[in-house]
Chain A
Amino acid sequence: MIDKRVASLAVAVAGVRDGDTVLVGGFGNSGVPVELVHAVLDLGVRDLTVVTNNAGSGETDIAALIRERRVRKIVCSYPRSSGSVWFEKLWRAGEIELELVPQGTLSERMRVAGAGLGGFFTPAGADSPLAEGKEVRVIDGRRHVFEEPLKADVALIKADRADRWGNLVYHSAARNFGPVMATAAALTVAQVRAFVELGELDPETVVTPGIFVDRVVVA
């Protein structure tokens, strides 16, 4: 029998190791799997590469991981939201590496990783310094830069409800990076508001099919 439901946050993040690449869902404070990130913090793992749109704000979740020196490198599109004080502090001190990626490129790099593709050419950033050192090709008269897939060891995402097969539905704009991140990691963990019985989710509206999800936990 398939049952992806786990009873605790500690079990949900078991197996995350030093040096892992971790995808963390969320856009600003919307859709951030706060409790899962704190469970990773409690594990004590370090040298993480964190892939997420913003670099955390205030003192919780991603900001807390950064503050506690658990993050070696952050891959994101916008690390300068109001309140990203810990990221800025460590970045100025040279204690954290930043790979800046245009937001659409960030999500598409995870999409191609999840889709088993070898990368893609995009016009986004092709005329900017972010294309330096990358292959550029003119396609249909326009410069495109080659971007590689972005695969991860772990994805931590937040959804609204899950069944025991790991099918997910989301809540409003909290969906953001969740569905694409779920496809791009070896281990995908979703925290949800509630579990539902198998068959309760309308199959026409399942957003992330359970094949992409390994563990679900209520938080």
Chain B
Amino acid sequence: MSELASEPSAQRLDKRQLAARVAQDIPDGSYVNLGIGLPTLVADVAPPDREIIYHSENGILGMGPAPEEGTGDPELINAGKQPVTLLPGGAYFHHTDAFVMMRGGHIDITVLGAFQVAANGDLANWATDDATLPPAVGGAMDLAVGARRVLVMTTHTTRDGRPKLLRSCTYPLTAAGVVDRIYTDLAVIDVTPDGFVVREVVPGLSRDELQARTGAPLRFATDT
């Protein structure tokens, strides 16, 4: 929050508002995989009039919300290892089929977190330069290359105020040229052949202020 302290008028989205903004763009009838962490919030705030089928890499389609305390099936968990439920019409399948769905272009939309996104759509969301932690990748690479549409949901800058949207990623890539759109607490930004194009900015934040928090040139959709 600190980097916006000088702009008290900027209406930065909180996590739930950000999730709701992402959810707005998920059409009725979509097959969706939500990455672990922040993206799982999207299911909690999706418009109730839309039927969205959530996929989990451990072999679930039609995943429902967390069970009521004490009623859950201990084997029924999501990718983040949290208890979930199965909706009527849901299905179980084994891991290889789960990844056939992910890599094979059968998932309409994935929402992923990010450490860095480059203006050419490169995504870095699995490893930093911290050599004290063992590397861990999970299903991120398969999802990033395979989902038809890759949405990134992230804070616009790191905790210490450094931009996450860059000319090129400095962290190891998850996948090259895969990101379609980025939703941050400050803006909605498309990745286009000409780089980042800003679709929306939160009220109270000027173009210059947004650019100052971004590590690559921004164009604004309203100018084109």
- Centre residue among A55, A104, A126, A171 by max chain B CB count within 10 A: A104
Chain A: interface residue total (CB-CB under 8 A): 49
* Size category of the binding interface on chain B: 35 or more
Is A178 positioned at the interface, with any CB of B under 8 Å from its CB? Answer: yes
A105 to B100 Cα, complex, angstroms: 11
Is B76 positioned at the interface, with any CB of A under 8 Å from its CB? Answer: yes
Which residues of A in the span 106-129 have a Cβ within 8 Å of any Cβ on B? Answer: 107-108, 110-111, 122-129
A124 to B99 Cα, complex, angstroms: 11
A25 smallest CB distance to B (angstroms): 9
Q: Is the CB of B175 within 8 A of A30?
A: no
Residues of A within 8 A of B102 (CB): 104
Q: Is the CB of B146 within 8 A of A78?
A: no
Is A130 positioned at the interface, with any CB of B under 8 Å from its CB? Answer: yes
Q: Is the CB of A180 within 8 A of B94?
A: yes
B residues neighboring A (CB under 8 Å): 56-60, 73-77, 81, 86, 92-96, 98-99, 102-103, 122, 126-127, 132-142, 144-146, 172-176
Residues of B within 8 A of A55 (CB): 134
Which residues of A in the span 80-116 have a Cβ within 8 Å of any Cβ on B? Answer: 80-82, 87-88, 91-92, 98, 100-105, 107-108, 110-111
Choice from A88, A107, A143 contacting B134 with Cβ under 8 Å? A88
Q: Is the CB of A111 within 8 A of B96?
A: yes
B180 smallest CB distance to A (angstroms): 16
Choice from B57, B59, B92, B96 contacting A108 with Cβ under 8 Å? B96
Residues of A within 8 A of B175 (CB): 123-124, 127-128
Q: Is the CB of B95 within 8 A of A180?
A: yes
Choice from A28, A102, A129 contacting B142 with Cβ under 8 Å? A102
Residues of B within 8 A of A27 (CB): 58, 77, 81, 95
